[in-house]
Amino acid sequence: MTHWSLEGFDLQKFVADTLAEDLGEGLPGGGHDVTSESVIPADARFSGVMDSRDPISVAGLPVAEAFFRSLEPAMDIEILVEEGAQVPAGTDLMRLSGNARAMLTAERAALNTVQHLSGIATMVRHYVDVMDNPDCTLLDTRKTIPGLRHLEKYAVRMGGGNNHRMGLWDAAMIKDNHVLVAGDVAEAVRRARDAGVAQIICEVDRLDQIEPALHAGATRLLLDNMEPPILREAVAMVAGRVPTEASGGINLDTIKAKAATGVDYVSVGRLTQSAPAADIGLDFTPE
């Protein structure tokens, strides 16, 4: 079996919970795959090939393997491409052979995961290519599906992007509602600094907020919904004192111009929030 893990992510629990949901464990009449059990002989064997139907960046194959092996540990599985690989349409991604019922029961969960994660990785790669700027780093956001954050942020890395905060715990991000309660940008930053927070990201949407935020102790400025001319002015005002990040209104039509303003980072919520599933199929044949 492929040795694969993510810090903070319990693969075995994810697989077990996902299959339990699909099998209806704990529900009246649930706990089994009624179709496979009634149609497929218990000793039937299948061979299968998972392949890409479109050009994609690959992510999630080890998770798919874990779904199949959870139902048949000795299943013969061969992963054919590396995670993060960019492959053309028609590329075989995985070959597998084993108990037919186990394959059919795990099929949808395995495919759903690879399609979703590869869809994210593919979109991220598209953004990186369009941005075309080695001096600017593409970041994701916390706009992830509950329960899937570690997997989705992993897929971002497989597509060539980087991760922003993993959650609410690893940095302070002061946004407009925090400022509203604190009274102003400077006071909000000061409160975080006085609380001993090491990383303080402060969102500003006006140039006159920059100096107060920096003076109060912000360690990164998130320049929100600024057009390229204003972004350039903001970067010049910061003059390398802290990293700068462009956010808001960034899509494939705008990312290149915003990245070219000199910001260190560009963050895009749609990478995890709106990526379409990759077109990946899994075809079985009886052995």
Helices 100-131 and 149-158: angle between axes, nearest 10 degrees? 60
Q: Kindly tell me the sign of the dihedral angle through the C-alpha atoms of 34, 38, 39, 40.
A: positive
Give the pLDDT band of residue 103 (cuts 50, 70, 90).
very high
pTM summary value? 0.95
- Average model confidence (pLDDT) across the chain: 96
Start-to-end C-alpha separation, the chain: 22
Q: Under DSSP, is residue 220 helix (H, G, I), strand (E, B) or coil?
A: strand
pLDDT digits 0-9 by tens, 156-168: 999 999 999 999 9
Does the pLDDT value for residue 109 go beyond 80? yes
User: Which amino acid makes up residue 26?
Assistant: G
Ordered alpha helix ranges (H), 132-172: 149-158
- 3 state SS of 71: helix
- Strand partners for 265: 137, 245
CA distances to 35, 152, 257 from 226, in Å: 54, 27, 12
Kindly indicate the confidence band of residue 3, based on its pLDDT and cuts at 50, 70 and 90: confident
pLDDT digits (tens, 9 = 90+) for 190-230: 999 999 999 999 999 999 999 999 999 999 999 999 999 99
Say what the pLDDT of residue 69 is: 97
Confidence band for 1, pLDDT divided at 50, 70 and 90: low
Q: Who contacts 227 (Cβ-Cβ below 8 Å, separation ≥6)?
A: none
Q: Which tens digit of pLDDT belongs to each residue from 111-137?
A: 999 999 999 999 999 999 999 999 999
Question: At residue 174, what are phi and psi to the nearest 5 degrees?
Answer: -90, 115
Gap between the Cα atoms of 152 and 144, Å rounded: 7
Residue 151 banded pLDDT, cuts 50, 70, 90: very high
> Residue 271 is which amino acid?
L
Residue range 233-240: average pLDDT? Answer: 96
The DSSP-derived string for 70-121 is HH-TT-EEEE-S-TT-EE-TT-EEEEEEEEHHHHHHHHHHHHHHHHHHHHHH
* Residue with token string 């942020």: 153
Helix, strand, coil shares of the chain as percentages rounded to 5?
A: 40, 20, 40
Quote the CA–CA distance of 132 and 37 in Å, as a whole number. 52
